[in-house]
Homo-oligomer: A and B are copies of this chain.
Amino acid sequence: MKKLQVYADRMSQPSRAVLILCKASGIDFEEIKVEISKKQQLSPEFEAINPFNKLPAIADGSFKLFESHAILIYIASAFPGVANHWYPADLTRRAKIHSVLDWHHLNLRQGAAPYVLHTVLAPVLGLPSNRQAQAEADKILTSSLSKIETIWLKGNGRYLLGSFQPSIADLSMVCEIMQLELLDEKDRNRILSPHKKVQQWIESTRNATKPHFDEVHNVLYKMKLKLSLQRSNQVDGMAESRIKTPLTSKM
């Protein structure tokens, strides 16, 4: 049988979650790069895999699937190499994981993704930034992180739902939060520093999936550096242009 094919863009947080699960579970799969910045997800070839033109998607033989949570569940269920803790067989533990995954959609994702988009990614992708959307996303993001800290990370374990080992819900939400790496360091600290448990949980998830976690996030780290250099050049540029501006122009 043909290898599992994973259509992914490592700049997309749900793509990364799927890739890390596959790598951490030793699944023999083929990564097919679809670059959102080049609008490759709109190609007819990819549309045949996912008619909604969204990433990630998979093809397991003739079976095609999209929506990252559905993919994570499918991979954890269909591939015997995936350790039980990612998606436990026990009905009640599984139900709680579904609950976190469902919550993710209209909470953390609704905050983190548009905040990063309107703060740093829109200009890179040639899209308009929207201040109001940014402010609303900031509120949802902050509130979601508080809820993760006080509700989902309650308990003795290092992971969501008081668990001692990560599940697909940890992977999905941590990859979402990792997108904040693209922000200016000061802004990222403002958002994350009040949430110590969240920070520890990100580290625990990174450690539980190393070296794959950093390997898959490497594209993001490079983009972070690029954006940070652009910002410092802008600041230098501004300082320079201020010096160059003749004093008389102020009058």
Chain A interface (Cβ < 8 Å from any Cβ of B): 51-52, 63, 65-71, 73-74, 77-78, 91-92, 94-96, 98-99, 101-103, 105-106, 109, 147, 151
In the complex, which residues of chain B have a beta carbon less than 8 angstroms from the beta carbon of A70?
95-96, 98-99, 101-102
* Cα of A95 to Cα of B60 in the assembled complex, Å: 12
**A67 contacts B103, C-beta separation under 8 Å:** yes
CA A69 – CA B97 in complex, angstroms? 11
Docked Cα-Cα span, A70 to B92, in Å, equals 10
Q: Which residues of B contact A65 (CB under 8 A)?
A: 95-96, 99
Instruction: Let me know if A91 and B78 touch, CB within 8 A.
Output: yes
* Contact sample, A vs B, 19 pairs, CB 8 Å cutoff: A51-B151, A52-B103, A65-B96, A65-B99, A66-B99, A67-B98, A67-B99, A67-B102, A68-B102, A69-B102, A70-B95, A70-B96, A70-B99, A73-B98, A74-B91, A74-B95, A77-B94, A105-B106, A106-B106
Residue of B nearest to A73 (CB): B98
Report chain B residues within 8 Å CB of A102: 67-70, 105
| Chain B residue nearest in CB terms to A105 | B105
The docked-state distance in angstroms from the alpha carbon of A78 to that of B91 is 7
A103's closest neighbor in chain B, by CB? B67
Instruction: Tell me if A52 and B147 are in contact (CB < 8 A).
Output: yes
Contacts of A101 in B (CB 8 A): 70
Q: How far is the CA of A96 from the CA of B69 in the complex (A)?
A: 11
Q: Is B69 within 8 A of A98, CB to CB? A: yes
Closest to A67 in B: B102
Q: How far is the CA of A98 from the CA of B70 in the complex (A)?
A: 5
User: A94: which B residues are within 8 A, CB to CB?
Assistant: 77
Q: What B residues does A103 contact at CB under 8 A?
A: 52, 67
Bound together, the chains give a CA A68 to CA B99 distance in angstroms of 8
Contacts A51-B151, A65-B95, A74-B92 aside, 4 further interface pairs with beta carbons under 8 A come to A70-B95, A70-B99, A74-B98, A105-B105
Counting chain B CB atoms within 10 Å of each CB, the highest count among A51, A66, A92, A94 belongs to A92
